[in-house]
Structure 1
Amino acid sequence: MASIKATGLVKRYGTVKAVHGIDFEIADGEFVAILGPSGCGKSSTMRMIAGLETVSEGTIEIDGKVVNDVRARDRNVAMSFESYALYPTISIYENIAFPLRSAGMNADEIDRRVRDIAEKMELVPLLGLKPQGLSSGQAQRVGLARALVRKPSVFLLDEPISHLDTRQRYRMRRFIKQLHQQYHYTMIYVTHDQEEALALADRVMVMSNGLIQQMAPPDEIYARPVNAFVAGFVGEPPINFFDCRLARDGGRWTLAFEGQTLTLPERLSDKAAQLGSEALAAVRPHFLSIGANGPLVLEGKVFVTEELQDQNLVMVDVGKVRFTLVAHPSVRPRRGEVVPLTIDADHLLLFPQDNSRRIDDDLAA
């Protein structure tokens, strides 16, 4: 096992700066997911930890030792990629044994380790086969076994299951979580899929434009995002944003939106005072409901209801803003129906309009 610390970490590719001087620490045995859109710097960060990319500026420490100039093979770091990169002409047994043979380990120890990891990963019946006979899920497990058989200090996974179908991804997610619980490896999991990150990690590092936006446990990332980018990138269906005006009315703050005025809960008073007269408000679809069920109620017109069997997604237009809410399957309002829309006051979020770009703006940049 190993701890990891990055200080002022920068990665340049020619004149392009992919990682912009980030700092983070990962504890021994911790599972951290690096989450962000394509081009945000997450894979470059992981590859620098692995030693596959040189560090342009800053330092990386593994167990307190600076490893900037340590070769990848000497860092005791194992990696698993989206592409399994199995050797097609040799058996599954030999694929798993390959890194041990390259390290000069004796045959008895190789056999013991290969059979031990194969048993734990349910690969024993496949050891005599070649990769061409495997399913995608089986091939991914072989790739993971080949990385784990070395008993690494740090285990890095770069979008390892993104190409699998929905059922296989679900099974592999459970399998990877089980591996972490069983072996207590320090694990870094790079993904653009927020569901994977929230389901697997002890903490999630959200990146955008080469910078860490927030690094926190999944529930904090979801419930208390530090800016609109994190709020917009995490959560499915996506969060609802709407521009609003804030004003002080006696001892309370109010929110004005599309001709309607709502009195903000006391917990948002300090935030409203910091933001001033204009703000970007946000609420997740799970914290909206049809009906006048609380103090924060808007009126809107139903655009469409998507029936998904286990839940319904209802789109409601309030002025020029279209809200999405998650409803029980029995809730089926008609298109064009005027309905009250209640915002759960405990889950309303406020962000500044000037320095927190929305996710669609960020991806279009």
Structure 2
Amino acid sequence: MVASPEVCRMNGAKSKGAVTERGKAIASRNATKHGLLAEKPPILVSEDLETFQGLMQNLVDQYQPTGAVEWHLVQTIAMCIQRQNRLWVAEAAIGNAQLLPPVAKPSTDETYPLLKPTEQDERWSVFHPHNLRRERKLLTWFIERNQREHFPTERRSRYFADIWKDWIESTLQDLNQFKNEYPTDGIPGKPGDTLALIDQEQFSSRYLSWLRDLCKMQHPFAECWFYGITLKNAAPPKTKGLWDYYAQTHTTILETCQKRIEQIEQIEQKIQQERDRYQSELIARQALTASPIPQSIALLSRYESHIAKQLEQAIRQLQNLQKERQHGGSMGSFGQNSDRHAASATASFTSQ
């Protein structure tokens, strides 16, 4: 036999929630399946949904809400707690923004500037990624084309003069291509092309002086430039000492090019490490100083008071409703008193 609606209401009013372990487990599973916040709670994208759902479930386990009004008040408590936490995050972000120093720019920006100083021109510096790639590619090409094993060794051959001549022509051709394609515009101290148009003699003098300075630093461009001058009129070596000199010079040129490749790789690695460090620290600082609400101290204070008041009212109203339900308050016909009390509580809360 089915109980009447009035009996069902009276039994529901006397219920104090789940008692058995099975009942509590069912109530726990249903914790986030009821109410307006069940499917899509209004939290920020930076806030964790699982954390909020865990908070909601803990509140449900604590208060064991029954009916739409009690569920609404439990959800109100959860949102007030969530908003208070949001307020604390905002307050910490404002303080961090004032206390934390700015993230240091990559140190390689000054050590290896991508652009030349503005007082010179606006072309890329020798440390610009494009120039570094071009330089490394050209150096690698030259080394592969002029391996130490390619140097003429048939000194006692009757055809050595022809072999030497062919080697000189091939090497000079590679050296000319090397000089023409080398990214020298970014190298400090190079005289500008405008000077070459105005005073060719002065340009040549400054250009040679610049090359000598680069030679002192063992720069591969200058080394190869002077190496080409040496080979241009080089006759086949007739003595072992002269042959050894040319062989050693050729080996030194290749070693200089290889050292420059290693320097470029180290520079690129340092630049990338500093950029990664800068981005990582910048993201970390932004996370510490990101405020989810407007950065106004006065607004934060009013916001905090408003949330605290809402939270206090929601807890008080929920406790009053549950006390009346759990102590078997007067129901009247079909629970009219309880419904009237719930409507009054809802109206009181929504008016805040």
TM-score normalized by the length of structure 1: 0.17
Larger-gyration structure (1/2): 2
Greater RCO between the two (CA within 8 Å, min separation 6)? 2
Larger helix fraction of residues: 2
Larger strand fraction of residues: 1
TM-score normalized by the length of structure 2: 0.18
